A and B are shown apart, each in its own frame.
Chain A
Amino acid sequence: MNSRSIVSIADYSRERIQKLLERAARFEQQPNQRLLEGKVVATLFFEPSTRTRLSFETAANRLGARVIGFTDPKVTSSSKGETLKDTIKMVSNYADLIVMRHKLEGAALYASEVTDVPIINAGDGSNLHPSQTMLDLYSIWKTQGRLDDLNIYMVGDLKYGRTVHSLLMSMRKYNPTFHFIAPKELEMPEEYKLYCQKEDIRYVEQTDFTEDTIADADILYMTRVQRERFTDLMEYERVKDAYILRADMLGKCRENMRILHPLPRVNEITQDVDDSPHAYYFQQAQNGLYAREALICEALNIDF
């Protein structure tokens, strides 16, 4: 792997994460910094993802870079059978940085091995999505003033939710207490529970989701329970409304508690929650811009 690529941030030290958080905070103060004047950023989306792509492209534009790329592999030579290696090598001739999303797991790591141009992983299948993790960390740090010693409640689809797995692993150095609230079919996979045990991370598992169960939360991380994830549709019908957050469930929660959600939301957070001071998911998405500006500078070794 070339040394400046950002494929995962799970192994970053506390110091390195802190540096990125503080850099993101500076970008929030002043997002327009022409630090990438004359540079070209390629955004290669082998799998469509409008939200992540727009956020990265906005970040690159606000830093003064030119952006090239594609949003759909059907229009590229990949559809003619070109290998990922060849596409990356070709784009490396043009760009100073490659931001890529791919449906195959490990694609970003492999890409970083075949080029000297830094790669930022914008999601490789259900594997890793470090910029989402970075914006989650930034949102937690910003709203709580710290990352240490927090009660983090994860709700909904904990089995397939890539964002909750990444967040879990990147919080391990901050002494968190996790509460996993999910239906049986979508509970936190065994490998992550073993990970918690190995890393001495406290966790509690529960299936009920009520005003009382979330009263001690500092962060309530909501995810969507999707119908297509269930093998037993009767089970889906039984639990589909059990993991919906409504405004009337926020009566006993801590004042500092904030609700995060990777978006898009469907019905797992009712509209009346949006007006609550605890709702933070739209600002969280906005934080993605600052987190990505910070990551782009990291990959290009630009101090800010």
Chain B
Amino acid sequence: MVAAIENGTVIDHIPTDKVFTIASLLQLDKCTDQVTIGNNFESDKMGRKGIIKIANRFFSDAEISRLAAVCPNIRLCIIKNYDVAEKKVATLPDEFINVIHCANPVCITNNEPMKTVFYVTDKERGTVKCRYCGKEQHLENIKLV
């Protein structure tokens, strides 16, 4: 189906509509190592799912927490020597710096060359609040920077 990797990271059980967003968030288009992106595989848990395998890449906690903006609680498997050496969960951080684009067109962040800052206000409901304009937004509707 998809070739196993010797060392690297596997992100499994990705909702099918999030696969390419995650690929873009992790800047896989610039990755020079082997990358496998699969989508619409059958899954007992989800019906259909996506999977991404990246050889020789290990993501920092900061990079993993960025994933939570689009896919809270997604799991990453760290592969070493063809075995799962560790599992990490992308839990929502307390804040996102320059990850989320503010949906408010009259927010200063959409009109100045500056970083956006969002505070996570409700981890269960997945809501965030813009530091600058104060507008609360749902993670389901956000766009990435």
Interface residues of A (CB under 8 A from B): 83-85, 102-107, 109-110, 124-128, 191
Q: Is the CB of B113 within 8 A of A127?
A: no
CB of B88 closer than 8 Å to a CB of A: no
Give Cα A104 to B135, complex, Å: 13
Contacting residues, chain B, for A84 (C-beta < 8 A): 108, 112
Contacting residues, chain A, for B108 (C-beta < 8 A): 84, 102, 104-107, 109-110, 124
The closest CB in chain A to the CB of B133 belongs to A105
Give Cα A103 to B108, complex, Å: 9
CB of B111 closer than 8 Å to a CB of A: yes
Q: Is the CB of A191 within 8 A of B114?
A: no
Interface size class of B (residues with CB under 8 A): 10 to 19
CB of B106 closer than 8 Å to a CB of A: yes
Q: Is the CB of A103 within 8 A of B106?
A: yes
With A103-B106, A104-B106 already in contact, the answer to whether A109 and B131 are too (CB < 8 A) is yes
Inter-chain pairs besides A105-B132, A107-B108, 11 sampled, C-beta below 8 Å: A84-B112, A85-B114, A105-B107, A105-B134, A106-B131, A106-B132, A110-B109, A110-B132, A124-B108, A125-B106, A191-B136
Contacting residues, chain B, for A109 (C-beta < 8 A): 108, 131-132
Shortest A110–chain B CB gap in Å is 5
Contacting residues, chain A, for B114 (C-beta < 8 A): 85, 110
Within 8 Å by CB of B111, from A104, A126, A127, A128, lies A104
Contacting residues, chain B, for A124 (C-beta < 8 A): 108
With A127-B134, A191-B136 already in contact, the answer to whether A104 and B113 are too (CB < 8 A) is no
Give Cα A127 to B108, complex, Å: 11
CB of B92 closer than 8 Å to a CB of A: no
A-contacting residues, B95-145, CB 8 Å: 104, 106-109, 111-114, 130-136
Give Cα A126 to B135, complex, Å: 11
Shortest B107–chain A CB gap in Å is 5
Give Cα A127 to B135, complex, Å: 9
Interface residues of B (CB under 8 A from A): 104, 106-109, 111-114, 130-136
Contacting residues, chain A, for B130 (C-beta < 8 A): 106
Tally inter-chain residue pairs, CB-CB below 8 A.
45
Contacting residues, chain A, for B112 (C-beta < 8 A): 83-85, 110
Q: Which 6 A-B pairs have the closest CB atoms?
A: A106-B132, A105-B133, A106-B108, A106-B133, A104-B108, A107-B108
The closest CB in chain B to the CB of A8 belongs to B134
| Between-chain CB contacts (< 8 Å), 13 pairs | A84-B108, A84-B112, A85-B112, A105-B106, A105-B134, A106-B107, A106-B132, A107-B108, A110-B114, A110-B132, A125-B133, A127-B134, A128-B134
The closest CB in chain A to the CB of B136 belongs to A191
Q: Is the CB of B107 within 8 A of A104?
A: yes
Q: Is the CB of A106 within 8 A of B109?
A: yes
Contacting residues, chain A, for B133 (C-beta < 8 A): 105-106, 125, 127
The closest CB in chain B to the CB of A84 belongs to B112
The closest CB in chain B to the CB of A104 belongs to B108
Question: Which of A83, A85, A105, A126 is most buried by chain B, counting CB atoms within 10 A of its CB?
Answer: A105
Give Cα A249 to B144, complex, Å: 53
Give Cα A191 to B130, complex, Å: 15
Q: Is the CB of B134 within 8 A of A106?
A: yes
Give Cα A126 to B133, complex, Å: 9
Contacting residues, chain B, for A85 (C-beta < 8 A): 112, 114
Shortest B101–chain A CB gap in Å is 14
Give Cα A142 to B132, complex, Å: 33
The closest CB in chain B to the CB of A102 belongs to B108
With A83-B113, A84-B112, A85-B112 already in contact, the answer to whether A105 and B136 are too (CB < 8 A) is no
Give Cα A126 to B134, complex, Å: 11
Give Cα A109 to B109, complex, Å: 11
Shortest B104–chain A CB gap in Å is 7
